Chain A
Amino acid sequence: MRERGSEVAGEPSGRRARGELESSVLAVLWAADRPLTARQVLAELPGDLAYTTVLTILSRSHDKGMLVRRREGRGHAYTPARDEAPDTAARMRTLLDRDSDRDAVLARFVSGLSAGDGQLLQRLLTGPGRGRPAEES
């Protein structure tokens, strides 16, 4: 069922798969609130990956300046490099807030919910299986 394993092993599109894996690793490190070792990153990643693959990704990203690391035991623990462009986040947010018309070209993951939607969503998520999936709105 999982395409992930075969995709990462990546015979036809190795570069693309490496890019995807890089994103996953970066996401794990940003989601963590402390530095992570390669083994800890591996544990957080879904799918079965080789330890060496993760290690390679980490050190490549470190070389590119995206990660900072410190010694921990016999290896390193990694955190994302933060201060590269501190204003990017704020600028993005104000740009998007000011001109909602820009939604024309960027697909947001989720829109905000109305109060009723919030409750409906809670119900849907807490009771999977016994919900009424076929119900029309």
Chain B
Amino acid sequence: MTITVYVPLLVTVVLAVLAPRAARRLPPRAAARSLACAATVTALGWLGSLALLSFTGLAQIPEVAEQGHWSVAALRAADPVSLAVAVLGALGLAAATGSLAVAAVRGTRHLRWARREAAALPGDTELAVLDDPVPQAFALPGAPGRIVVSRGMLRCLGDDERAALLAHERAHLRGRHHLYLVLWRLTAAVTPLLRPLADAGGFVLERWADETAAAHVGSRTVVARAVGRAALATTAAQDRPALAATGGAVPQRVRALLGPPPPPRALPVVAGAALLALCCASLAEAAFDSERMVVTARSAERAAATAPADTAGSGHPAPVATAPLAADPEAAADGARHRHHHRGAHRPGGRA
């Protein structure tokens, strides 16, 4: 527990640094799936770690201990987590769940909004054209989703490029890319550390749709030209300058399309999977330790309760613990022995 409970937090930090960079080198579909998987597991691991840390603090409150029938003294002696850390954990957990709830409400609202708008667009065709000279194009998820493109956008593209644009937006709809986006938003709400994963995810989805479009029109150069031309036309039509934050994505997409297709790579995926497995195993072990600690504290409490009866000479032998165990140091030592034993026995299996 001393170390294992922090491992998910550490894995989150490591992935927040490494995963976005690795994702940009993978084929985009594999990258999107890996990022979704990594974000989900680390977000859950993050919540689990904070929950365990705050539980150890909460369990030391006498009223809570009384409800749970465990000995505060034994717990405190066995517990490797300081109260300050436990309080931090509890605050972190409250913040994470609060912001997750907000993000979930907003995500649901946005999905509903998109669905409503998709249904309200004129016509029943896949493509809805906006009679608008300002170039814009996006996929509006719904049942069914619609491709929304303005007249201005269609006019700035050549024949092949229009086909590429439609194939790109279609790839978003068919691949249900909006669900990935919502998922990343939720995980980034759990901890801001996962925001880089969400940003990389957005980029990787565009690349995925670009590559699907390239396969459809049979040319990656055509897609590159379509993306570039559309971006230049969009920027020219904007009355205000683009936000600096969005800068860079389009040139990177164009460059990736003009270069050779990204080869599949096993190493980043395997390394990422190993990190996630470590995260899960550590969390499981920390949870197991935590439960063990409670069991020990409970038996200490029971021993303390039966001890006066023993000294009164009623004659029952205490089944679990001898009378002196009620004294704190002994209970702590017992707890530590238990945990140590468990760890020795289980670690190799848990990590495999």
Q: What 0/1 readout, one digit per residue, does chain A (28-50) give for beta carbons within 8 Å of chain B?
A: 10110100000000001110000
Partner of A31, one of B131, B154, B185, B260: B154
**B126 close to A111 (CB less than 8 A):** no
Size class of the A contact interface (CB-based, 8 Å): 35 or more
Partner of A107, one of B130, B139, B160: B139
B58 at the interface (CB under 8 A from A): no
Shortest A129–chain B CB gap in Å is: 8
A interface list, Cβ under 8 A from B: 1-4, 19-20, 22-24, 26-28, 30-31, 33, 44-46, 61, 64, 66, 80, 82, 84-86, 88-90, 92-93, 95-96, 101-102, 104-118, 120-122, 124-125, 128, 131, 133-135, 137
**A30 close to B178 (CB less than 8 A):** no
**A23 close to B249 (CB less than 8 A):** no
A95: nearest residue on chain B (CB-CB)?
B117
B interface list, Cβ under 8 A from A: 106-107, 110-111, 113-114, 117, 121-127, 129-132, 134, 136-141, 147-151, 153-155, 157, 159-160, 162-163, 165-166, 168-170, 172, 177-178, 181-182, 185, 205-206, 209, 215-218, 221, 224-225, 227-232, 234-235, 238, 241-244, 246-252, 254-256, 258-260
Report 10 cross-chain contacts, Cβ distance below 8 Å, ordered by A residue.
A20-B166, A23-B147, A24-B166, A85-B122, A89-B131, A90-B132, A92-B117, A104-B106, A105-B141, A131-B255
**B111 close to A109 (CB less than 8 A):** no
Residues of chain A contacted by B148 (CB below 8 angstroms): 92
**B182 close to A114 (CB less than 8 A):** no
12 extra A-B contacts, CB within 8 A, seeds A93-B132, A134-B259: A20-B170, A24-B166, A26-B125, A27-B127, A45-B159, A95-B117, A101-B110, A105-B182, A108-B138, A112-B242, A133-B255, A135-B255
Residues of chain A contacted by B229 (CB below 8 angstroms): 125
**A113 close to B235 (CB less than 8 A):** yes
Per the bound structure, the CA–CA distance linking A30 and B231 in Å amounts to: 19
